[in-house]
């Protein structure tokens, strides 16, 4: 099979969807009889061609990004305008069997245009599902008709969690939306040799610094912990448009020396970052399925999280899901956990155990089965 994949973001640009796509491609490099071209974005100008493997070629449409991990609407439209020409050239010059798009929009729009020539699959990732991102409320309203046409034209729609599937079906109840979760490389992400609760308590969150992640709430919770006499250090791995605002918040709360902003951390360094911490916390309003949470679990970190999409599959006896997320509930939950070191150790063991079923090989196999059905 010869497949064209389209994703408007790809490392180092973007967040979890690009990383998931990259991991999926790594599995595809091992599969005989599968040839894949990828159309995505890259830094710089013009079209850049990269050979990931003998059977994987990546075409990057050069764009200027103000922030690697935050897309302005003008940047999305700029990519779409430039990518359209390259997409048309690729499908004219190659005998593709189908197109696989990450994100129903903008990526899926390109597939929809060529629907009479090529069938297509859409992997819904989160922000492309109406209701997911409050910042895009007006956009969802204005583009609802287009979204419905793009979704309805797909041979398969795939969400990466049951929660995202449910949100998507609220938008289009009559469509059959399948679930293929994210995966994790448990050989790269593994626990520290000995899980030991030491002082200070080291808390970690990972993600783009955007409103949806509610990292300000987590900083306030850490401030509350330190005010109560519990010595806590909070590390934030990620970059985004709220960096300065969050740094100012930590300073104003008097805990600037306890909050560490790592900025964007390379994927190669992230496993060690996880292993240096005791707890992983997340307060997101919405997630498709959090790659960072999977990575933290694989590294043996107990989880405290909001009740968002993906949590249903990932958290049972390996963490705490908060129905009501506030600085008080986060701080109280952390205090309760550290007063029971044995429970914390069991949560750490269960977290690692849970991830062993989420292999990228099984995810890649599930997608190839869909490809085969179409072909």
pLDDT tens column, 320-374: 899 888 999 999 999 999 888 888 889 999 999 999 888 899 999 999 999 999 9
Rounded to 5 degrees, φ, ψ at 6 are -130, 130
Clarify whether residues 172 and 316 are in a common domain.
no
Task: Please report the pLDDT score of residue 267 as a whole number.
Answer: 84
Clarify whether residues 173 and 235 are in a common domain.
no
Q: pLDDT digits over 83-115, tens only? A: 999 999 999 999 999 999 999 999 999 999 999
The answer to whether residues 171 and 130 touch, using CB atoms and an 8 Å cutoff, is: yes
Query: How many C-beta neighbours within 10 Å does residue 252 have?
Result: 11
Q: pLDDT digits over 249-279, tens only? A: 999 999 999 999 999 898 889 999 999 999 9
Clarify whether residues 77 and 214 are in a common domain.
no
Task: Please report the pLDDT score of residue 197 as a whole number.
Answer: 79
Task: Please report the pLDDT score of residue 193 as a whole number.
Answer: 84
Task: Please report the pLDDT score of residue 333 as a whole number.
Answer: 94
User: How many Å apart are CA 264 and CA 294, to the nearest integer?
Assistant: 18
**What pairs with residue 65 in β-bridges?**
none
Local structure of residue 317 (DSSP, 8 states): S
Query: How many C-beta neighbours within 10 Å does residue 295 have?
Result: 25
Task: Please report the pLDDT score of residue 119 as a whole number.
Answer: 97
Average of per-residue pLDDT across 126-155: 90
Rounded to 5 degrees, φ, ψ at 116 are -80, -15
In the predicted structure, residue 288 carries a pLDDT above the cut 80 = no
The answer to whether residues 20 and 114 touch, using CB atoms and an 8 Å cutoff, is: no
Clarify whether residues 275 and 134 are in a common domain.
no
Rounded to 5 degrees, φ, ψ at 369 are -65, -40
Sheet strands (E) in the chain: 2-7, 35-43, 47-53, 56-63, 98-102, 120-124, 156-159, 177-179, 201-206, 232-237, 259-263, 279-282, 303-306, 319-322
Is the residue at 191 inside a domain? Answer: no
Clarify whether residues 270 and 173 are in a common domain.
no
More confident residue, 240 or 58: 58
Is the residue at 189 inside a domain? Answer: no
Task: Please report the pLDDT score of residue 261 as a whole number.
Answer: 97
Task: Please report the pLDDT score of residue 118 as a whole number.
Answer: 96
Rounded to 5 degrees, φ, ψ at 171 are -80, -45
User: How many Å apart are CA 205 and CA 277, to the nearest integer?
Assistant: 10
Query: pLDDT category, 163, cuts 50, 70, 90?
Result: confident
Clarify whether residues 237 and 321 are in a common domain.
yes
Is the residue at 190 inside a domain? Answer: no
User: How many Å apart are CA 99 and CA 118, to the nearest integer?
Assistant: 7
CATH of the domain at 153: 3.40.50.2000
Question: Strand, helix or coil at 27?
Answer: helix
Average of per-residue pLDDT across 304-316: 85
What value does the mean pLDDT of the chain take? 92
Q: Is the dihedral of CA 206, 209, 213, 217 positive or negative?
A: positive
Task: Please report the pLDDT score of residue 316 as a whole number.
Answer: 83
Q: Is the peptide bond before 106 cis (omega within 30 degrees of 0)?
A: yes
User: How many Å apart are CA 290 and CA 296, to the nearest integer?
Assistant: 10
Query: pLDDT category, 81, cuts 50, 70, 90?
Result: very high
Clarify whether residues 237 and 158 are in a common domain.
no
Split into its structural domains, the chain has a count of 2
Cα separations in angstroms, 101 against 62, 98, 124, 137, 159 = 19, 10, 9, 23, 12
In the predicted structure, residue 240 carries a pLDDT above the cut 90 = no
Domain that holds residue 10: 2-183+359-374
Nearest to 208, CA basis, from 353, 19, 360, 22: 19
In the predicted structure, residue 52 carries a pLDDT above the cut 80 = yes
Clarify whether residues 323 and 367 are in a common domain.
no
Query: How many C-beta neighbours within 10 Å does residue 94 have?
Result: 12
Q: pLDDT digits over 208-232, tens only? A: 898 889 999 999 999 999 998 889 9
Query: pLDDT category, 287, cuts 50, 70, 90?
Result: confident
Clarify whether residues 8 and 147 are in a common domain.
yes
User: How many Å apart are CA 200 and CA 33, to the nearest integer?
Assistant: 52
């Amino acid at each position: 099979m010869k497949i064209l994949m389209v994703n408007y973001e790809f490392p180092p640009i973007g967040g979890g969807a690009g990383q998931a796509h990259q991991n999926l491609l790594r599995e595809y490099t091992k599969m005989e009889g599968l040839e894949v071209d990828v159309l995505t974005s890259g830094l710089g100008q013009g079209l850049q061609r990269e050979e990931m493997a003998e059977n994987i070629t990546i075409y990057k449409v050069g764009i200027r990004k103000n922030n690697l991990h935050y897309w302005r609407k003008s940047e999305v439209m700029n990519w779409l305008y430039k990518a359209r020409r390259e997409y048309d050239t690729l499908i004219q010059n190659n005998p593709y069997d189908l197109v696989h798009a990450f994100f129903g929009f903008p990526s899926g729009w390109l597939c929809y245009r060529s629907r009479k020539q090529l069938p297509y699959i859409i992997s819904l990732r989160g922000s492309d599902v109406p209701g997911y991102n409050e910042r895009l409320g007006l956009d969802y309203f204005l583009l609802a008709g287009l979204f419905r046409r793009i979704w309805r034209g797909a041979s398969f729609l795939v969400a990466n969690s049951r929660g995202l599937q449910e949100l998507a079906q609220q938008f289009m109840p009559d469509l059959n939306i399948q679930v293929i979760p994210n995966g994790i490389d448990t050989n790269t992400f593994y626990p520290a040799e000995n899980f030991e609760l030491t002082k200070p308590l080291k808390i970690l969150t990972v993600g783009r610094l955007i409103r949806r992640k509610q990292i300000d709430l987590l900083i306030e919770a850490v401030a509350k912990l330190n005010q109560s006499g519990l010595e806590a250090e909070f590390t934030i791995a990620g970059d985004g448009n709220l960096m300065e605002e969050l740094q100012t918040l930590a300073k104003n709360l008097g805990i600037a020396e306890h909050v560490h902003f790592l900025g964007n951390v390379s994927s190669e360094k992230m496993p060690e970052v996880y292993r240096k911490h005791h707890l992983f916390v997340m307060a997101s309003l919405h997630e498709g399925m959090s790659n960072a949470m999977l990575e933290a679990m694989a590294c043996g970190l107990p989880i405290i999280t909001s009740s968002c999409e993906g949590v249903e599959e990932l958290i049972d006896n390996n963490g705490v899901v908060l129905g009501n997320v506030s600085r008080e509930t986060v701080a109280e939950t952390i205090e309760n956990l550290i007063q029971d070191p044995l429970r914390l150790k069991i949560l750490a063991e269960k977290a690692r155990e849970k991830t062993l079923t989420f292999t990228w090989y099984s995810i890649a196999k599930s997608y190839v089965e869909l490809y085969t059905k179409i072909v």
